[in-house]
Structures are given as C-alpha cells and as structure tokens.
C-alpha cells in the first residue's frame, strides 16, 4: 500500500499498520531468500528482492510517521511557527517519497518476475518511467496510486492465468493475496470520498499480504 500520511486521527494506528506490513513482508522476503538458497532458482531470488524493497519501504514509512507523530505531540501545547510547519511538511514529503520509491522498485521487480520480462531494454524503459512518476509525485499522490494499481492489475491477471492452468492451493492463495493488495490500492484511489477508505485500504492490504505469506508456508 503506497501511502503518505493518512487522516490525522489515524496516525497512531497507521504506524502500527506499517510495522505489521513491515514484519509480514519481511517474513515473505526471508522465506523467498531461503527458497533461493535451497533451490538455486533465480525466480525465488527476484521474488525475495522485490519483497525486500517493499518491506524496507514500510519500515521507512513507519519511522517517518512515528517521527511526525512525536513532533506533533511535542507541539501540542506550544504555539506553531512557520518553521515547525515547514519541518513537518518536509519530513512528510521526503519520507513518503522514499517510501514510494522503494515500494515501486519492489513492485516493478515482481512485475518483471510474473510477466517474465527478461529484455533489458524493456526493463530499463519501465524503470525510467517509474523514476519519472516518483520524481513528479509531489504534484499528485493519485499518480502513484494509479501506477501501483496498474502494475498490480497486470500481476493479478497473470496469477489468475497461472491458477487456471495449475489449480494449486498455493497458486490460489498467491492470487487472492495480490488481489487483496490490488483492492487496497483501489480503495486509496477513492480516498477523496472519505477517510474510512484509508482504513479499509489498510485492512484489505494486510489480509492480502497474510494470504501471500500463507501460500509460502503451505509449500
């Protein structure tokens, strides 16, 4: 779930969500690296690296939100100055930008994996476009949400095709897991309708990651 700050009343819960996302995706990445060491299959390594970047993005976002929360609490009984407001705004921007960069890098690696993209020129083109989106994300957060949603949609379609061919329980869990993450991003696109969509996106994304983790445990 690519996000900046959610509703102010959700900030504490947001830190908890981010830490849970960090732990779950971290375990997924660790299990991927363990599978790579055992099977020596490059696909396991790419899967593990993708989730490592996603895991790192959530840790960074959790730390950013925690620092912002502590700063807001420190200023609760004090008079706000423009310097305080600018400091919080800069911290929010830098933290959310780095989170988005790490998340999209990880997701792009998973996109290459599941769509079996091996051509270096195509990979370079996609990475350049992703970099362009990240650098211009200060204009509209919806752009990152949209790109993330599109990437997840392509991954989900490929996973659905894999499940149609194999009909394995693990394939079903992976498909449903990425479906949950995809739905979470769709809910973020509807954030302008109300803060409840932010909460729903967090819960849905968490369920998705847990399903992906369950698919690895069952293998």
Biggest CA-to-CA distance, the chain: 63
- Yes or no: say if 133 and 146 are a contact pair by the CB < 8 Å rule: no
Q: Is residue 106 part of a domain?
A: yes
Mean pLDDT for the chain overall: 85
For 143-178, how does the pLDDT look when each residue is reduced to its tens digit (9 = 90+)?
888 889 999 999 999 999 999 998 888 899 999 999
Is the pLDDT at 131 greater than 90, yes or no? Answer: no
Structural domain contains residue 122: yes
Instruction: Provide the pLDDT confidence category of residue 190 given band limits of 50, 70 and 90.
Output: confident
Judge whether 3 lies within some domain: no
The Cα–Cα gap between 45 and 42 comes to 5
Give the whole-angstrom CA distance, residue 22 versus residue 56.
7
More confident residue, 131 or 56: 56
pTM for the whole structure: 0.88
- Whole-angstrom CA distances from 15 to 74, 113, 162, 170 are 17, 30, 35, 30
Residue 83 lies in a domain: yes
Chain-centre distance for alpha carbon 187? 14
Q: Residue 28: its pLDDT value, please?
A: 97
Asked if residue 2 is part of any domain, the answer here is no
Percent of the chain clearing pLDDT 70 (strictly above): 87
Number of domain units in the chain: 1
Q: For residue 49, what is the domain's CATH number? A: 1.20.1070
In a domain, residue 89? The reply is: yes
1 within domain boundaries: no
Output the CA–CA distances (angstroms, integers) from residue 78 to 91, 168, 198, in the order listed. Answer: 19, 59, 29
Please, which pLDDT band fits residue 139 given cuts at 50, 70 and 90? Answer: low
**pLDDT band for position 5 (cuts 50, 70, 90):** very low
Distance set, CA 45 to CA 123, 176, 213 (Å) = 17, 22, 16
What is the pLDDT, as a whole number, of residue 140?
60
Does residue 69 lie within any of the structural domains?
yes
Instruction: Give the domain extent around 196.
Output: 8-217
């Amino acid at each position: 779930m690519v996000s900046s700050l959610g509703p102010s009343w959700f900030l504490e819960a947001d830190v908890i969500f981010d830490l849970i996302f960090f732990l779950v995706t971290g375990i997924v990445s660790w299990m991927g690296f363990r599978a790579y060491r055992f099977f020596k299959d490059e696909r396991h390594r790419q899967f593990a690296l993708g989730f490592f970047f996603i895991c790192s993005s959530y840790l960074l976002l959790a730390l950013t939100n925690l620092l912002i929360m502590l700063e807001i609490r420190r200023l609760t009984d004090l008079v706000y100055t423009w310097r305080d407001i600018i400091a919080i705004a800069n911290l929010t921007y830098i933290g959310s930008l780095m989170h988005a960069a790490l998340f999209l890098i990880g997701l792009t690696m998973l996109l290459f994996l599941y769509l079996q993209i091996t051509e270096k020129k195509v990979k370079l083109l996609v990475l350049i476009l992703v970099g362009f989106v990240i650098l211009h994300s200060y204009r509209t957060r919806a752009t990152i949400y949209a790109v993330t949603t599109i990437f997840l949609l392509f991954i989900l379609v490929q996973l659905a095709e894999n499940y149609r061919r194999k009909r394995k329980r693990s394939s079903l869990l992976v498909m449903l897991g990425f479906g949950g993450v995809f739905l979470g991003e769709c809910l973020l696109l509807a954030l302008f309708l109300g803060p409840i969509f932010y909460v729903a996106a967090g819960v849905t994304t968490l369920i998705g990651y847990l399903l992906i983790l369950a698919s690895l445990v069952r293998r």
